[in-house]
Amino acid sequence: AALRHRSPRRRLGLRRVRVAVSAAAPIDPDVLASFRAIGVEIRDAYAQTESTAACTVTPAGDVRPGTVGTALPGVELQIAGDGEILTRSPGVFEGYFRDPGATADVVDEDGWLATGDLGALDADGYLTVTGRKRDARSE
């Protein structure tokens, strides 16, 4: 009987959660809505090992399902002609260990990291990841 009177947040162990961030894969908008309904806003982010830190995060209070937010301070984003997401920041790694050829394949002379992901930027700077470049080549 005691469990029926506990809030969903408390039952899920989320009573003290103030910010929830996801960066693994796109979250279904219905899942986002369910968490929002119990008072937990999940903010998407975008990162990869070679960027050494998050590139984007959804601003608080402006969750836009299907996007992974806007560039963090000091991070630049652009979309290449083939749709690949490029990022440049002080966090972009210096290179693969003992493999300058592989490094040159992903970081150009201006410091732009080719992420291997495809995406789009909207007018407000929100990034949407649409797929992987290697998957698009195999179609």
Taking only the tens of pLDDT, the chain with its 139 residues reads 455 667 899 999 999 998 899 998 778 889 989 999 999 999 999 999 999 999 999 999 999 989 999 999 999 999 999 999 999 999 999 999 999 999 999 999 999 999 999 999 999 999 999 999 999 877 6
Distance CA 129, CA 60 (A): 20
Distance CA 23, CA 46 (A): 6
Q: Are 94 and 60 in contact (CB under 8 A)?
A: no
- φ, ψ at 112 (rounded to 5°): -80, 125
Place of tokens 């909207």: 122
103 φψ region: left (φ > 0), alpha (ψ -120 to 50), beta (else): alpha
| Res 2: pLDDT | 52
User: What is the dihedral sign for C-alpha 74, 78, 80, 84?
Assistant: positive
| Res 131: pLDDT | 94
Q: Are 87 and 112 in contact (CB under 8 A)?
A: yes
| Res 19: pLDDT | 87
| Res 91: pLDDT | 96
Identify the CA nearest to 20 among candidates 8, 5, 36, 4: 36
| Res 6: pLDDT | 78
- Residues 6 or more apart whose CB falls under 8 angstroms from that of 72 comprise 53, 54, 55, 56, 57, 89
User: pTM value?
Assistant: 0.88
Q: Are 38 and 15 in contact (CB under 8 A)?
A: no
Distance CA 54, CA 126 (A): 14
